[in-house]
Amino acid sequence: MKATGPESVADRVRTIVPTIEMLPVRTPTLPPATHTNTFLIGTGEAVLIEPATPYREEQDLMVQWVQSARLRGVEPVAILATHHHPDHVGGAMALRERLQLPLWGHAMTAQRLDGIVEIDRLIQDGERIELDGPTPTSLTALHTPGHAPGHLCFIEEASNIMVAGDMVASVGTIIVEPTDGDMLLYLESLRKMSTLEPAGLLPAHGTLIEQPQAILNFYIEHRLMRERKVLDALEARGKASRPRHLVASAYADTPKALWPLALQSIEAHLIKLEREGRVWKEGDRWAPVPAGD
C-alpha cells in the first residue's frame, strides 16, 4: 500500500491561464461550499486575491504557495479583498503580516472592516492595476454592490476572465440578505457584469464558469422568478404579512432546511419591491399595493 502524506500546495493549485493560478482553501462558508478560491495573478509583479481562510494550516499552504511563486520570479505586491464577509477576509491580518504585503479593497469594505481589519489602499471602480512581468498583466476593478456594499470583481484583461467573488457560484445560488445586501443593486451588478461579456467567471466558490453569459442570465432570471413567487404569495394572502408567512409558498421547491436562508432572500426581495412601489410596509409586515394606486 502506498503511503500518503499531507496534501501539498501542488495538489491543490490549478492554473487557469498562464497569468492566473487558483488555490481553494477551507473556510467557514455556507453550504454547499466548503472552500473559498484564492487567486494569484501575474507573471512577475502579482496580486493575491481573497485572503479567505482563518485556519492556520490553510494559511500555511497559502504562504507556501507565495514562497514557491517567489522562487520562480513571481512577486506579489498586494493582497486584494473582493468584500468584507468572513469567508473572504478571515486570513487578512495574518497573511498581511506573514507575507508583508499591503491589503487593498473598496472604501465600503474598509468601512465594514473598521476596527477589525485595516485596509491599506482603497480601490476605485474602473481602476486599472498594472503588473509588470514576462507577460505584463492588467486587472480592471469593477464595483459590483448587491451581495455586499463594497464588492469588487476583477477582470484580467488579456484573457478577459473575471474574478467574480460572491456574485455567482458554479453550484447553487448567492444569498442576498436584507441588511448587508441589496437585491436591486445585485441585479444591476449582474447586468453590468453581463454587458462586459467576460470570457469566463472565476467564482469564490466552485470551478471556472466557462459559459458566463448563460450563468449570469440564469442568475437574473432566477432572482426575478423568485420575486414573482414572493409577490404571488403575498397577493394570495391578501393582507400584510411577514416573510415567514410567505416562505412555504415562495420556496415550496426548496428543502425546509434552507428556509432560514430563504427568509433573508424574501425580505431582500420585499425591500426591493417596496422601493419600486409594488408593495408597502407597515411595521414589520408587507402588503401588495392595490391595483390602481
The string of pLDDT tens digits covering residues 14-24 is: 999 999 999 99
Domains assigned to the chain:
9-210 (3.60.15.10), 223-288 (1.10.10.10)
C-alpha cell at 34: 466548503
Per-residue pLDDT of the chain (293 residues; tens, 9 = 90+): 343 445 778 889 999 999 999 999 999 988 788 899 999 999 999 999 999 999 999 999 999 999 999 999 999 999 999 999 999 999 999 999 999 999 999 999 999 999 999 999 999 999 999 999 999 999 999 999 999 999 999 999 999 999 999 999 998 889 999 999 999 999 999 999 999 999 999 999 999 999 999 999 999 999 999 999 999 999 999 899 999 999 999 999 999 999 999 999 999 999 999 999 999 999 999 999 987 55
Question: What are the backbone dihedrals phi and psi of residue 143, each rounded to the nearest 5 degrees, phi first?
Answer: -75, 120
Helix (H, G, I), strand (E, B) or coil at 154: strand
Residue 138: closest CA among 56, 252, 20, 293 = 20
Helix (H) or strand (E) holding 127: none
Question: What are the backbone dihedrals phi and psi of residue 178, each rounded to the nearest 5 degrees, phi first?
Answer: -80, -20
